Amino acid sequence: MPCGQQLIYQVDGDRARAFMVRCNSWDCSFCAPLRRARLRRLAHAGNPNMFMTLTTSPHVELDAYERARRMTRSWHKLVAQIKRKLRTNALDYLAVVEQTKRGEPHMHILLRSKYIDHAWLSAAWERMTGAKIVHVRRIDDTGRAAAYVTKYLSKTPMRFGRNKRYFRSRRYAPKHVKTEAQARWKVLPRTKLTMSLAALQRLMRECGWQLTSASMTGCEWTQPPGCGPPALTPPLS
């Protein structure tokens, strides 16, 4: 069933909420833009001050999928080398895999780090992958960081075989902490409805429920005094 044709509906006293059942696939025309937006928010949340691009070499006797795999494995080795060079125990980053027009994998990486010498980076990367084309630059302020994120993370990350589309260090961005209200919704019973969000909004409006928040993927309502519950199919138990 296409995304948006089923909803999860929950009630908590005089409050109700509904949100779409989504596939969350990068290949879905509805979910892919939402995932890209979520990735951009993650990129911003890390407050990066460095931007790096690493490439692969088509002259290496591997196919693109194997080059992508080697690129990812080499990055983790490079992280260890950068830590040693900068004499630090931490290197926080977000790495996103993309595809060039020729079908070659490459990575855009946002980091919080001291400056990494371009010549040293190119030589180290060439030893690992056979590719010496790299780019590294400072991001001087939040506005420029936002520009880099918007420019380079506007496309859907590419998945080469079983390689990840993007990955990050554990401490790149602050961990999301659920509010008390979010934690409560998590444990409340759920009812699956086969209807669109727009149809449910009309039904709730006809029943007199007041809309308190709305997004592309979900809504919340409150029940004014004297209003009955909406007639839903399947009926609520």
Give per-residue pLDDT as tens, 99-155: 888 888 999 999 999 999 999 999 999 999 999 999 998 887 656 665 666 666 666
| Percent of the chain at pLDDT exceeding 70 | 89
Greater pLDDT, 197 or 162:
197
Q: What's the pLDDT score for residue 98?
A: 87
| Residues 164 and 184 grouped into a single domain | no
Look at residue 233 and tell me if it is in a domain.
no
| Residues 19 and 122 grouped into a single domain | no
Say if residue 33's pLDDT is above 90: no
| Residues 88 and 122 grouped into a single domain | yes
Q: In DSSP terms, which residues pair with 50 in a beta bridge?
A: 111, 138
Average pLDDT, the chain: 86
Give this prediction's pTM.
0.80
Give strand ranges (E) for the chain: 7-12, 15-20, 50-54, 92-99, 105-112, 134-138, 166-168, 191-193, 210-214, 218-222
Neighbours of 117 (CB within 10 A): 11
| Residues 51 and 163 grouped into a single domain | yes
| Residues 148 and 89 grouped into a single domain | yes
Nearest Cα residue to 53 out of 113, 85, 115, 95:
95
Provide φ and ψ at 7, rounded to 5°. Answer: -130, 155
Question: What's the domain count of the chain?
Answer: 2
Q: Among 3-17, 48-62, 63-77, 150-164, whose mean pLDDT is lowest? A: 150-164
Average pLDDT for 12-26: 90
Look at residue 236 and tell me if it is in a domain.
no
| Residues 184 and 156 grouped into a single domain | no
| Residues 153 and 75 grouped into a single domain | yes
| Residues 193 and 214 grouped into a single domain | yes
Q: What's the pLDDT score for residue 117?
A: 95
Range of the domain at 86: 47-168
Look at residue 104 and tell me if it is in a domain.
yes
Please report, for the domain that includes residue 123, its CATH number: 3.30.70.1910
| Residues 98 and 135 grouped into a single domain | yes
Q: What's the pLDDT score for residue 129?
A: 92
